[in-house]
Structure 1
Amino acid sequence: MDADTDELLRLAFAQAPANLANVAITRMRAEVGGESSRGISYELLLPDGNVRTWLLDTVLPRLVDYLESIGAKLPRCGGVFLSVFSGDTLHFIHARDVIALLSGWSGLSSDELKRRYGPR
């Protein structure tokens, strides 16, 4: 595992075996959402290499657009978590933590991310 992948996956607040993904994601939706709502899972399958480039070039624009479009406004990204598949493990990471990491990697603030990648 490269350093960028390790840095991302260290943000996980929970893990599960990937072969139990459906059950685990359903459980996380209930836990993250709380009593009055259900959390939203944004699922990713990490590539074997060039993780930082892939996250910044491919995932970040789409994730920001998605979050802003559903009303999970940056930087808090309320109720959204990423279900990140890496090998045989599923890692659950709050969207706010992924946005903070990618904001740091890109050098762009949350406001700049919204301007560049948010809905038009």
Structure 2
Amino acid sequence: MSDTDTFLRLAFAQSPAAEANAAMARIREEQGDAKSYEFVLPDKEVRAFLLERTLPRLVDYLESVGARLPGCGGVFLSVFAGDTLHFLHARDAVSLLSEWSGLSLDELKRRYGPNRT
């Protein structure tokens, strides 16, 4: 299974990308007025993109808005891949990326959180 498939398999819902605004509004409401963290998944080198570019920014964002690891409450990811929008719980994505990176959740917070040490 490709890294893209492994990552997107975490999705709890999908929508055509052309209907992104309505779909995100629906998911926000269904998730109790949750926040959406959005990005476009590249066609190539997905694991490197997720670990080097997305993970540091995502951890910083989550910790900054009070959606603390490991639960990441109140945040879901809206991931555009091709013509489909995939919705993932932030906690599931962070868990997988933690595993891929070999870093514990505590180490992710230390390295990438707003209070970096």
Q: TM-score range by the shorter chain?
A: over 0.9
- The 2-side partners of 1:102 and 1:30 are apart by 26
| Residue ranges of structure 2 left out of the alignment (5+ in a row) | none
| Residue ranges of structure 1 left out of the alignment (5+ in a row) | none
Quote the residue 1:83 is aligned against.
78
The amino acid across from 2:30 in the alignment is E
Quote the residue 1:31 is aligned against.
30
TM-superposed CA distance for 1:74, in Å, is 0.2
Indicate which of 41, 56, 63 corresponds to 2:58.
63
SS of residue in 1 equivalent to 2:71: coil
- The 1-side partners of 2:60 and 2:101 are apart by 16
Q: CA deviation digits over 1:29-86, x for unaligned, max 9?
A: 00112xxxx1000001011100000000000000000000000000100010000000
- Spell out the pairing of 1:1-120 with structure 2 (5 A cutoff): 3-33=2-32, 38-120=33-115
The amino acid across from 1:17 in the alignment is P
Normalised to the residue count of structure 1, the TM-score between the two structures is 0.94
The amino acid across from 2:14 in the alignment is Q
Q: How many residues align?
A: 115
Deviation beyond 2 Å, 4+ runs, structure 1 = none
- The 2-side partners of 1:54 and 1:30 are apart by 29
TM-superposed CA distance for 1:12, in Å, is 0.2
Normalised to the residue count of structure 2, the TM-score between the two structures is 0.96
RMSD of Structure 2 on Structure 1 (CA): 0.8
- The 2-side partners of 1:57 and 1:45 are apart by 14
